[in-house]
């Protein structure tokens, strides 16, 4: 598995997303993924499943040093004391001494960015996080964090898929050697609306979801965290790594519309 690296962090390009996985079935899915070889696990305090993730990790018995675990602090917990308390809670629920990557899940107006990253730096120095990062940061927010504040960001996790252009964000990240991790990477809500994807999939004896995933993973410094509850889907996502596109495939996929944002919460920043 190819790795993404930044700020001393290394994480597999293909991760296992846990949004909306919970309970015994969620734990079963996580244990299956770990048994198949997934080593990058993504969760968040907002997902309300960190205890399940921790139980799955413990049951799977994979050495802690072989795992990359990401969790996130929610946007209304960004004062220093709140960050520390949220991290305390996440670590206890996960049953871990540290997380590999701790993200600011969403930006919020008026947040004290300097204070946030100062707090995260202290947590890194204390060994409770290996690296810090952000999610859903726009290009102006990235520039403020990286270029003005000098925050040692190791990742920006954003919605990214075949039908959404993230060139401006990716350009800022590439300039500073920071990976982009794609959530909602398969765009399942609309994937079936575009026969061209199915045609490329048929050519490669693959599923459209595998084509969508491979399109992302072919890009430099881009990872993805699809949720895959079933073992069959987990295997299919791993198998996508072996697909090889030719120039005709790339042209077909590049021609698809790139303006279809699927996640736009009422607290989201101004994406433009």
- Cite the active site residues: 47
CA separation for the pair 73, 47 (Å, rounded): 11
Nearest alpha carbon to residue 26 among 56, 67, 6, 4:
56
Nearest alpha carbon to residue 70 among 139, 130, 4, 142:
130
Contact in structure between 43 and 99 (CB atoms under 8 Å):
no
CA separation for the pair 187, 19 (Å, rounded): 14
State phi, psi for 9 to the nearest 5 degrees: -100, 145
CA separation for the pair 231, 5 (Å, rounded): 28
Residue pointed to by tokens 């279809």: 260
Residue 205 contacts by C-beta under 8 Å, 6 or more apart in sequence?
A: none
Instruction: Return the ∠ at Cα 265 (arms to 178 and 134), rounded to 5°.
Output: 20
Chain length of the chain: 272
């Amino acid at each position: 598995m190819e790795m993404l690296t930044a700020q001393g962090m290394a994480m597999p390009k293909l991760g296992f997303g846990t949004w909306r996985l919970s309970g015994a079935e969620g734990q079963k899915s996580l244990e299956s993924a770990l048994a198949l070889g997934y080593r990058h696990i993504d969760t968040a305090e907002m997902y309300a499943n960190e205890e399940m993730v921790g139980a799955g990790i413990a049951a799977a018995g994979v050495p802690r040093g072989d795992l990359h675990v990401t969790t996130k602090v929610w946007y209304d917990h960004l004062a220093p004391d709140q960050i520390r308390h949220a991290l305390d809670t996440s670590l206890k629920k996960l049953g871990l001494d540290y997380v590999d990557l701790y993200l600011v899940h969403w930006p919020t107006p008026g947040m004290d960015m300097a204070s946030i990253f100062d707090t995260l730096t202290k947590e890194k120095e204390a060994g409770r996080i290996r690296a810090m990062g952000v999610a859903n940061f726009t290009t102006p927010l990235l520039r403020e964090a990286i270029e003005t504040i000098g925050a040692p960001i190791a990742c920006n996790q954003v919605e990214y898929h075949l039908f959404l252009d993230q060139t401006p964000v990716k350009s800022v990240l590439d300039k500073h050697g920071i990976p982009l991790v794609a959530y909602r990477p398969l765009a399942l809500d609309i994937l079936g609306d575009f026969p061209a994807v199915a045609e490329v999939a048929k050519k490669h004896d693959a599923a459209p979801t595998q084509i969508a995933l491979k399109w992302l993973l072919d890009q430099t410094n881009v990872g993805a965290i699809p949720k895959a509850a079933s073992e069959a889907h987990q295997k299919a996502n791993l198998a996508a790594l072996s697909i090889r596109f030719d120039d005709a495939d790339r042209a077909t996929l590049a021609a698809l519309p790139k303006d279809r944002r699927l996640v736009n919460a009422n607290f989201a920043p101004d994406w433009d």
